């Protein structure tokens, strides 16, 4: 298939915008990812697709854990910052350590994942993470399509009408 046509086809698919983070030797690492998916309910698994040559992939493999920050509709500048291949991405960014992983302030969702599998897929690797804990808040999410950030109008309309809840729901899987 022609790579240009493939890119155009994929650009038309609306995707969630997330920042995948990990901690290695006390140093936070992160990158913007729009290829994130729910994989399984039992056990609770999610997947993120990372470039096979990315440093975040190497760091997540080495640490065996990663976090997923699901960005809110107004966090496009944060998505752009973490999409760049520059050091010190966390400087000047509001974040904290949660379950020994970097968690970004204001994210709608937070997932703590233990690396379950790494599946090679062409020039990318799909990390399957088993959810250990998570936090979800209601609100309009940041999405990416046609090489632009935005949000779905129905989510925005509900938020503007005041129906979006600011209360977060915390979910933690019991360890046996």
What is the domain partition of the chain in residue ranges?
3-172
Residue 156: what pLDDT?
A: 60
DSSP state of 141: B
CATH 2.30.110.10 given to domain 3-172: yes
Q: What is the pLDDT of residue 157?
A: 65
- Whole-model pTM: value is 0.84
Closest CA to 49 of 133, 149, 141, 123: 123
Phi and psi based region of residue 90 (left: phi greater than 0; alpha: psi -120 to 50; beta: remaining)? alpha
For 42-94, the pLDDT digits (tens) are 999 999 999 999 999 999 999 999 999 999 999 999 999 999 988 889 999 99
Q: Are 131 and 101 in contact (CB under 8 A)?
A: no
Residue whose structure tokens are 């690396």: 115
Half-sphere exposure of 149 (CA within 13 A, CB side): 19
Tens digits of residue pLDDT in 95-137: 999 999 999 999 999 999 999 999 999 999 999 999 999 999 8
What is the three-class DSSP state of 109?
strand
Beta pairing class for 36-40 and 95-98: unpaired
């Amino acid at each position: 298939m022609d790579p240009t046509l493939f890119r155009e086809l994929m650009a038309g698919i609306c995707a969630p915008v997330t920042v995948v983070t990990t901690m290695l030797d006390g140093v936070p690492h992160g990158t913007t990812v729009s290829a994130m998916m729910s994989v399984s309910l039992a056990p609770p698994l999610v997947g993120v697709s990372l470039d096979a040559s990315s440093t975040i992939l190497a760091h997540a493999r080495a640490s065996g854990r990663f976090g997923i920050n699901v960005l809110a509709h107004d966090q496009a500048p944060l998505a752009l910052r973490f999409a760049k291949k520059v050091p010190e991405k966390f400087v000047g960014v509001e974040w904290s350590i949660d379950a020994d992983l970097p968690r970004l302030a204001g994210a709608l969702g937070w997932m703590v994942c233990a690396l379950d599998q790494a599946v090679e897929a062409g020039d990318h690797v799909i990390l399957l993470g088993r959810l250990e804990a998570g936090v979800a808040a209601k609100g309009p999410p940041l999405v990416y399509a046609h090489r632009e950030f935005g949000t779905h109008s129905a989510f925005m309309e509900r938020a503007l009408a005041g129906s979006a809840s600011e209360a977060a729901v915390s979910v933690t899987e019991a360890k046996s």
